[in-house]
Each structure stands twice: as structure tokens, then as C-alpha cells.
Amino acid sequence: MKQFAYALLFAACAPAAWAADKLSLNEISGYLNDLKTAEADFTQVNDDGSLSTGKLYLHRPGRMRFEYDGPGAGVVVAGAGAVMIQDKKSNQPPETYPLRRTPLSVILARNVDLSRANMVVRHSFDGTATIVRAQDPEHPEYGSIDMMFTGEPVQLRKWVVNDDAGGQTTVILGALETGVKLSSKLFRIERDNDN
């Protein structure tokens, strides 16, 4: 279940396009603030090296859903200020964590401002993508998130969640389809209890 808990907080992806230059924090903040709805296939590399695949749904601010592939696969939902992890194979109720205590809150914030003091602890360019490591500046103990962006146009390709226990989970995004209509039911975990 731990892998589901941290899945929501990370993503890593191979760039589909070459970026010419390092993107500024203002460009990346603007891109995230303009990103309202999106969906994409994803591959997740868990801390133990295992792989998971599924579909990601994003509705900013504050909402995200990971649907894992396979019969009885789990679901991770961020919404209403919480992250809920549901293991469909278990008879246990979903696990719930405050969204603000996860690095995912950086991406899902109403107003992303990466220039805020002590939020970005690394800002680099590897020749193809800009990588930003961000954290809650008031609570760095909650962990951090490494986000990879390509340019022309700016696109989020991957993120890696570095949790407070030293674990890492990587999410690699497929083609991100933006501006999609998403049902509010996707972001309510109760929807899955009816199955």
C-alpha cells in the first residue's frame, strides 16, 4: 500500500521533445498555473524497483487521480484537501493523508509560485530538460518532488517523489492531453466503493 500512497506524489518521463534552454521558474510556474485539466497514461517506478501502469487524471487546483491497470488494482485520489489510497483487493477502508503533508501539494496548489523563498532547492538543465526540486518551504520534512519539464512548448514529462522516509517513486507521463472535460466523480473515492 505504501507504493500507492507515494504514487500520487511523483512522476518521471522521457522527454518527447528537445528543449533548447533551461526554463525559468516563472515559465514553469506559469505553465502549472495554466494547466487546469489533463489526462495521460503513466508508468510508475516504485521504490522497490517494481513497475505499475495506469491512467492519470488531473484537475487543478487540488485534484488528481491515479487509476492502476489490472483487475482489482488500486486507486489513489487527491481531492478535498486529502490524499486517499484505496486497495480494491482489501476489505479495509481507504487510507487518508492530508494533501498539504505530501510533495504533491506543490503541483496541485491553487497558485504555484516556484520563486517563493526556499521552495526550490534545485533548478538544473540536463541538456534536454529542466529539472526542478521543490518542497514545502515551511515543512521540508514532508519530502520533495523533482519535476522534469521540456520546452517548446513547456510540458511536464516526469516527476519523482522523495518521501520523508527516504523512499523514491517515479511517475513517467505519456502524452499529456490537456483541456479535457473530467467528471467530478473521478475525484471522489466513494465512487469506487459502489463496485
For residues 98 and 79, give the distance between their C-alpha atoms in angstroms, rounded to a whole number: 10
CATH no., domain 2-193: 2.50.20.10
Q: Pull the grid cell for residue 150.
A: 521540456
Statement: residue 9 has pLDDT above 70: no
pTM of this prediction? 0.81
Helix (H, G, I), strand (E, B) or coil at 60: coil
In tens, the pLDDT along 31-46 reads 999 999 999 999 999 8
